[in-house]
Structure 1
Amino acid sequence: MVVDKSKRGRDERIFVYSFFVKRVNINRILLLIIGLWPYQRTPLVELQLILLYGILMTFILFQLTALITSECTLDIIYKVISSAFFYVCFLIKYNSFWINADIVRFSLKQLQDVCNEITDKNEIAIIEKYGSKAKRITIRILFLGIFYQFTFILIYIWPYIHHIMVFTNKSQSHTSVYIMTEYFIDEEKYSYLITLHRHTACCIGTLAMLTTGTMLLTYLQHTCAMFSIACYRVERAIDILEKGGYQNEEKSCEEMIRAVNIHCKAMKLSNFLISNFSGSFFCLIAAGVLCLSCNLLRLASFTDDFGQFILALTNLIIHYVYLFVANYTAQEVTDHNEYLFATVYNVRWYVAPIRIQNMILFLLQRGTKSFHLILGGIFVVSLQSAASIASTSVSYFTVLYSTRLD
């Protein structure tokens, strides 16, 4: 065990000073905040994980206990499920990175090794381009998370602001009906502790969702960069041959081998990460569809409670943005792989010697079978799948809404 700990510490030091870590520094800071950074898992970090996980878990449980103490009408059931399963999605993402810490660490190490092997200035520019793109998307999603947190706080303090503005003498209740909970204590007396628990859980959940999501997004963006580098190497191999003639055949052949190698590594790395998160993603899809359907129903049932409307609308926006960004990123991986084969088709491969033509033929044969990120051998992650999930949630919503009317 002592050897393993020292090795982990050494890996962390190497990682911190690597070329790749500059591309994921924001993600690293965010994961450190919620204790999910896969390196340096000290007892203090484990305690942090248990504390944050416990706060999020208990908030979900206190929402579900409202079904026990309240009259279980369809409206109340849909209201509790729409909010509880929204936080269940947060919990699934948090748990997926916690239990797969070794997988995340190994994946980052493999990607780091690939990045550290790159010395060509044009290839480094490609990595930097995709790293900058991932960083921009991370910052935008971070602002979306801040917007959600601000909205969540605002709808709870708005009644107090309104109470002050209209100068009424009537006392203002501290309890809220936006998210139904049952703490089995005097909620008026301990209202500030309940409020603190609620908003802390919301903050932890929001951070868990966006930090884990943006980490996976950044990882996949770097695999897209690897596909682009493979395209560059194929073009460079043919260019070397055309400029130098058969005298540079060996150098051109080496460049083509490097293109094939980085292409294989890109497919292997992306498949490895996604396959190890398949179980968590399946649970996330199931919880997400149920949450979307119930929030659509909550939105359609709007009467005069503006806070309920804003909360349901914000939940829907967060879910749909996450759904389409995640699937769009996976679609980009597929598109970059297909672009590689378009590049191979378009280069003047027919001027190459037989040995290089055989390598190109190997790439073309790989291109006859589409490359997709697949969950559990069933669910293909793509924009089409995102549209299917959105359509399924709307279908369930129409069924639930029709039963509510009956």
Structure 2
Amino acid sequence: MVATGTMFIAYLKHICGMFSIASFRIKKAMAINMQHEEKMNEEKMVIIYKGLICAIDIHRKAIEFSQVIIKSFEGSFFCLIVASMICLTSTLVQIITYNSTEQLVLRLIYISVLYLYMFLSNYTAQDITDHNEYVFATVYNVEWYVAPLHIKKMMLFLLQKGTKTFHLILGGIFVASMESAATLMGTSISYFTVLYSTSTKQLQNN
């Protein structure tokens, strides 16, 4: 769990950096356009084109890299999600039936570590989505509408791509986000409630 989680967070932070670089390239290219709007020549146009093309290329590579990472870790993510849910549910049940304070403390620490692990993984994945949206927010916020026609076409292409939200799907079944983390926590508590109710009824019948 530690190895998979650490590598996953490191890779995702790298992807966040790529999205930030893409945003910076767009800002820099459009800043050149605003500074030299009145005396725009072919050389300045080439610099702006190169900046925008570089931004688009970096953004594309970041998307591709994230998809490769998810595909590479797909089996590990599926096993981690299933194992985490089983461990959380069983540990919550064990807390109710603890025999000593030491056992209670150990199980509480165990649950806290699992919830923290779940939170950090989903928080980092949510960070990817936020950085991707920031790229297109940058496109919206720069004054692209005063740029020459050819640059406007490139910016409109970026704006069109921004209509699709980008999410990381872990294990092929789970969309990684803060909302999903809250759903997982709620699901583990629901399973615990069902197991506890079932075990209580069985004890009463016996």
TM-score (normalizing by structure 2): 0.91
Alignment of 1:300-339 (within 5 A): 300-303=96-99, 305-339=100-134
Q: Could you say what secondary structure the match of 2:36 adopts? A: helix
Q: CA RMSD in A?
A: 1.2
What is residue 272 of structure 1 aligned with on the other side?
68
2:25 matches 1:229? no
The residue type paired with residue 251 of structure 1 is I
1:291 equivalent in structure 2 = 87
Deviations 1:360-394 (A, max 9, x none): 11111111110001135432111111111111110
Equivalent runs, 1:42-121 vs 2, <5 Å: none
In the alignment, the residues of structure 2 paired with residue 251 and residue 332 of structure 1 have an alpha-carbon distance, to the nearest angstrom, of 30
- Matched length: 197
Q: Secondary structure of 2:166's partner?
A: coil
Greater RCO between the two (CA within 8 Å, min separation 6)? 2
Q: Structure 2 CA distance, aligned partners of 1:378 and 1:360?
A: 33
Alpha-carbon distance, 1:244 to partner: 2.4
Q: Deviations over 1:99-127 (max 9, x none)?
A: xxxxxxxxxxxxxxxxxxxxxxxxxxxxx
Q: For the Cα contact (< 8 Å) 2:169–2:175, is it kept in 1?
A: yes
Q: Secondary structure at the match of 2:164?
A: coil
Q: Secondary structure at the match of 1:371?
A: coil
Q: 2:6 aligns with which of 193, 214, 219?
A: 214
| Contact residue 241 and residue 352 of structure 1 kept, 8 A | yes
Structure 1 residue runs of 5 or longer lacking an equivalent are 1-208
Q: Are the counterparts in 2 of residues 297 and 397 from structure 1 also a CA contact under 8 Å? A: yes
Structure 1 residue 310, shift from structure 2 partner: 1.5
Q: Which amino acid aligns with 1:219?
A: Y
Write the distance in 2 (CA, Å) between the matches of 1:291 and 1:375. Answer: 19
What residue is the counterpart of 1:382 in the other structure?
177
Could you tell me which residue of structure 2 aligns to residue 115 of structure 1? Answer: none
CA shift in 2, pair 1:330/1:346, >3 Å: same
**What amino acid does structure 2 have at the position aligned with 1:319?**
L
SS of residue in 1 equivalent to 2:165: coil
Letter paired with 2:148: P
> Which is higher, the Rg of structure 1 or of structure 2?
1
Query: Normalising to structure 1: TM-score of the pair?
Result: 0.47
Q: In structure 1, what is the Cα distance between the partners aligned to 2:91 and 2:80? A: 16
Are 1:275 and 1:374, in contact at CA under 8 Å, matched by a contact in 2?
A: no
Give the corresponding residue for 1:396. 191
- Partner of 1:7 in structure 2? none
Q: Is the 8 A contact 1:327 1:383 kept in 2?
A: yes
Q: What SS does the aligned partner of 2:175 have?
A: strand
Q: Which residue of 2 aligns with 1:345?
A: 140
Out of 335, 350, 367, the position equivalent to 2:162 is 367
The gaps in structure 2 that reach 5 residues or longer are 202-206
Query: In structure 2, how many angstroms separate the alpha carbons of the residues matched to 1:328 and 1:297?
Result: 27
